[in-house]
């Protein structure tokens, strides 16, 4: 059994592209093994989700040895049988993804006669909702000390001034904040601390005397790596025991340890205070001071450094770095010269953490760009020292997700089933990673626009019969609207699944007047623009855009305006140009710009077969989705090229999309 989550993750048997393409295009498996080899199953669709409502086609491919009867293919979703196929290829069933916001597991299974069952599994993660964030409000924690280093209490909103990127901001709130805290003790247990370990243990224990009952503690001894971690816990005996059993030995990697704070503090509650007990000697870190500072910010922790001189004292370089690291997180660094100073340091750290202010403001800069914003916080008393974070990162804009629908067509006489790995997708020349792929089987919203100009008079009965045949070939869930165009565009009926309305409208078809072709396509696009579903337009005409005498255009809209609208509305346009007088250039331009196709029957008895080709194309469409490597939400057109890596296959799409614009 193989299990996958998305198009790139696979286990089990691997098929090369050459093996796969030969099998697909020959209509059966290429024999890669002898008659006793086992069969393999691979689910090719769906891989991921797009969020569109309606049925999804689950497709699996089978490679089997010669003469092996694989029997029926069964499909399960979350352990429930949703369908089976007696024979194939293709092996496919339809399933409705009723709740795309829950994870699903899809299994395809065959049980060949006198052989073990073979299956493949794809896990669909919940659909990700991408929302545009706003820089609504920012909360800032701060501590204030007087000239002697003691915490200052009782300040109000009038006492503070805050600037963001040198721009004065209006504070919405200031309050003293006394929420419980999580204290993380990073205890340097390297060999250079060997002679001071008893003192380090005593220093860590003394800090506990200043904590409140609800404060939690994490004890994290380290050398080049973390040792055994204890907590978070409120039980002081547990913490004391963890401190006492620490032993020295090995080298030191202080900066590497700090860079792991986000991992260590993941899930910790309350205010995050990290107390680093070290002599500052760092022989083994691979990360830089900047890396450690970023990690402290990411962990939303305030770092307090207590420098304890080890065998060789405290290095000057280490002291400078540790001071900078503490200050960048809004904390403080202490380097006592005498052991008697420790109680005072503990008192200052506890007061700094427990007597903090919470300030809130709505930034004047509401740009969602993910950039760093500098904060400068002061009080009216210039002798007071304010410690806070130096800034924050604005929210990042949500990623740009592109979803394209396209047609896969093989050379005449060949059938093809396509998997995600058979495609390469390029956006503005940059290769993208497709994370969602499936066949497009969700119901359509479709507009049928029929030319009712005077030149159609002699072909009326054949036109009506072909149109009715097309209507009957649509799936029951497809919604259809009917437009007739001559001198003007008339909406016979709006989108509906009631086929009787369409048949009645076709029965009343009459030919007279000019050909407002551009206006008809524009009207169809305008109607589908308001529809949240798969969209398509079928246009049947025998002429060109002209008035009844043939002396001027028949439409108010130009072809350029229609093509521009086509880029805005994601609707595939299929054009059927009947006879020798059609404007093939215009019809081809409309279909090419939308990812559709043009057909040009010469006689009316070919109309029905061309309509059937349109239905076939509508049922051979696929959907691919990916997160664009270009994160700009600039509203610009992105050119997208989809290339098949298997031979004798052509892919047609609308050629791109407009990026969202905030």
- Banded model confidence at residue 385, pLDDT cuts 50, 70, 90: very high
602: DSSP letter:
S
Tokens of 297: 């910010």
Give the Cα separation of 540 and 509 in Å (integer).
13
CB-based contacts of 532, cutoff 8 Å, min separation 6: none
Q: Is the pLDDT higher at 355 or at 365?
A: 365
- Segment 183-191 mean pLDDT: 91
Contact 271, 356 (CB under 8 A): yes
Q: What is the pLDDT of residue 16?
A: 29
Q: Among 56-70, 126-140, 498-512, 583-597, name the one with the lowest average pLDDT.
A: 126-140
According to DSSP, residue 226 is labeled: B
User: Which class for 388: exposed (0-12), middle (13-18), buried (19 or more C-beta within 10 A)?
Assistant: buried
| pLDDT at site 499 | 96
> Angle between the 342-354 and 197-207 helix axes, to the nearest 10 degrees?
40
pLDDT average, residue stretch 160-184: 89
Find the Cα–Cα–Cα–Cα dihedral 599, 602, 606, 610, rounded to 10°. 0
In this prediction, residue 7 carries a pLDDT of: 40
Rounded Cα distance between 134 and 325, Å, is 30
576 pLDDT higher than 70: yes
562-566, 608-612, 618-622: least confidently modelled range: 618-622
Nearest alpha carbon to residue 222 among 271, 196, 255, 181 = 255
Contact 233, 216 (CB under 8 A): yes
Task: Provide the pLDDT confidence category of residue 46 given band limits of 50, 70 and 90.
Answer: confident
What DSSP letter does each residue of 446-492 carry, written as one string?
EEEEEE-SGGGGGGHHHHHHHHHHHHHHS-TT-EEEEEEESSSEEEE
Q: List the one residue out of 603, 273, 225, 643 whose CA is nearest residue 424.
A: 643
Tokens 């691919």 correspond to 624
What's the angle, vertex CA 135, arms to CA 129 and CA 138, rounded to 5?
120
Check: CB of residue 100 under 8 Å from CB of residue 49.
Answer: yes
Do 239 and 233 meet the contact criterion of CB atoms below 8 Å apart? yes
pTM: 0.58
Mean pLDDT of the chain: 85
Q: What is the mean pLDDT of residues 318-325?
A: 86
Give the helix/strand (H/E) hosting 499. helix 499-507
Q: Judge contact between 26 and 646, C-beta under 8 A.
A: no
Give the span between the Cα atoms of 185 and 174, in whole angstroms.
Answer: 29
- Taking residue 178's Cβ as centre, other Cβ atoms within 10 Å add up to 12
Classify 8 as helix, strand or coil: coil
Confidence check: pLDDT of 181 > 50: yes
Count of CB atoms situated within 10 Å of the CB of 594: 27
Condensed to tens digits (0 to 9), the pLDDT of residues 221-267 reads 999 999 888 888 888 888 888 888 888 888 989 999 999 999 888 87
Residue 398 clears pLDDT 90, i.e. is over it: no
With 80 as the cut, is the pLDDT of residue 126 above it? yes
| pLDDT(313) > 60 | no
Low-confidence winner among 120-134, 246-260, 445-459, 532-546 (lowest mean pLDDT): 120-134
What is the per-residue pLDDT across 545-559, written as a single tens digit (0 to 9) for each?
A: 999 998 999 999 999
**Average pLDDT estimate for 395-405:** 88
pLDDT at 162: 96
Residue 382 makes CB contacts below 8 A (sequence gap 6+) with: none
Least Cα distance to 478 among 502, 451, 462 occurs for: 502
Which of 608, 554, 617 is CA-nearest to residue 583? 554
Residue 152 predicted with pLDDT over 60: yes
Confidence at residue 342, expressed as pLDDT on a 0 to 100 scale: 78
Percent of the chain at pLDDT above 70?
A: 89
> What's the rounded Cα separation, in Å, for the pair 107 and 109?
6
135-144, 249-258, 494-503, 553-562: the lowest-pLDDT one: 135-144
Range of weakest confidence among 272-286, 336-350, 414-428, 538-552: 336-350
- When pLDDT is cut at 50, 70 and 90, the band that residue 272 belongs to is confident
Query: Three-state DSSP class for 524?
Result: helix
């Amino acid at each position: 059994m193989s299990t996958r989550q998305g198009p790139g993750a696979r286990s089990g048997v691997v098929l090369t592209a050459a093996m796969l393409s030969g099998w697909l295009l020959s209509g059966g498996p290429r024999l890669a093994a002898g008659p006793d080899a086992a069969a393999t199953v691979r689910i090719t669709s769906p891989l991921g989700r797009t969020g569109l409502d309606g049925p999804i086609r689950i497709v699996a491919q089978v490679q089997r040895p010669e003469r092996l009867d694989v029997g029926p293919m069964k499909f399960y979703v979350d352990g429930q049988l949703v369908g089976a196929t007696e024979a194939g290829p293709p092996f496919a069933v339809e399933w409705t993804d009723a709740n795309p916001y829950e994870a699903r597991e899809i299994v395809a299974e065959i049980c060949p006669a006198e052989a073990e069952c073979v299956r493949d599994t794809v896990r669909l993660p919940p659909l990700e909702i991408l929302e545009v964030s706003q820089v609504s409000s920012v909360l800032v924690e701060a501590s204030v000390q007087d000239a002697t280093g003691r915490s200052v209490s009782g300040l109000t909103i009038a006492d503070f001034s805050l600037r963001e990127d040198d721009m004065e901001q209006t504070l919405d709130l200031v309050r003293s904040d006394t929420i419980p805290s999580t204290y993380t003790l990073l205890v340097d247990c390297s060999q250079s601390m060997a002679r001071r370990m008893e003192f380090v243990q005593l220093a860590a224990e003394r800090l506990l005397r200043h904590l409140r009952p609800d404060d939690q503690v994490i004890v994290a001894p380290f050398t080049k790596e973390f040792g055994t971690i204890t907590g978070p816990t409120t039980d002081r005996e547990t913490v004391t025991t963890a401190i006492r059993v620490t032993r020295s030995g090995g080298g030191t990697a202080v900066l590497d340890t700090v860079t792991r704070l986000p991992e260590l503090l993941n899930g910790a509650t309350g205010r995050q205070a990290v107390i680093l007990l070290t002599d500052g000697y760092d022989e083994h870190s691979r990360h830089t001071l900047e890396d450690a500072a970023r990690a402290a910010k990411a962990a939303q922790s305030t770092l307090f450094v207590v420098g304890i001189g080890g065998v060789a004292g405290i290095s000057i370089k280490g002291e400078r770095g540790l001071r900078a690291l503490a200050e960048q997180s809004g904390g403080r660094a202490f380097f006592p010269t005498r052991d008697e100073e420790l109680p005072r340091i503990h008192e200052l750290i506890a007061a700094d953490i427990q007597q903090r202010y919470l300030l809130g403001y709505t930034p004047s800069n509401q740009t969602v760009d993910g950039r760093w914003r500098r904060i400068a916080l002061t009080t009216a008393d210039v002798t007071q020292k304010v410690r806070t974070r130096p800034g924050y990162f604005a929210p990042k804009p949500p990623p740009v997700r592109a979803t394209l629908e396209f047609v896969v067509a093989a050379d005449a006489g060949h059938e093809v089933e396509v998997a995600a790995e058979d495609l390469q997708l390029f956006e503005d020349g940059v290769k993208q990673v497709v994370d969602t792929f499936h066949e497009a089987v969700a119901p359509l919203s479709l507009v049928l626009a029929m030319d009712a100009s005077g030149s159609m008079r002699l072909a009326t009965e054949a036109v009506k019969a072909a149109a009715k045949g097309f209507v009957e070939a649509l799936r029951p869930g497809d919604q259809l609207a009917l437009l007739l165009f001559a001198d003007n565009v008339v909406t016979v009926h709006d989108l509906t699944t009631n086929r009787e309305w369409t048949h009645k409208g076709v029965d009343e078809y009459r030919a007279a007047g000019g050909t407002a072709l551009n206006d008809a396509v524009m009207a169809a696009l305008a109607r589908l623009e308001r529809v949240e579903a798969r969209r398509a337009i079928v246009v049947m005409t025998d002429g060109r855009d002209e008035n009844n005498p043939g002396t001027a255009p028949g439409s108010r809209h130009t072809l350029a305006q229609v093509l521009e609208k086509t880029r805005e509305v994601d609707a595939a346009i299929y054009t059927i140009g009947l006879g020798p007088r059609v404007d093939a250039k215009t019809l081809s331009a409309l279909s090419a710009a939308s990812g559709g196709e043009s057909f040009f029957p010469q006689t009316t008895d070919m109309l029905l077969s061309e309509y059937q080709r349109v239905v076939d194309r509508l049922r051979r469409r696929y959907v691919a989705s990916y997160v664009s490597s270009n994160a700009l939400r600039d509203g610009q057109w992105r050119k997208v090229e989809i290339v098949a890596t298997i031979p004798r296959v052509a892919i047609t799409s609308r050629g791109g999309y407009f990026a969202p614009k905030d």
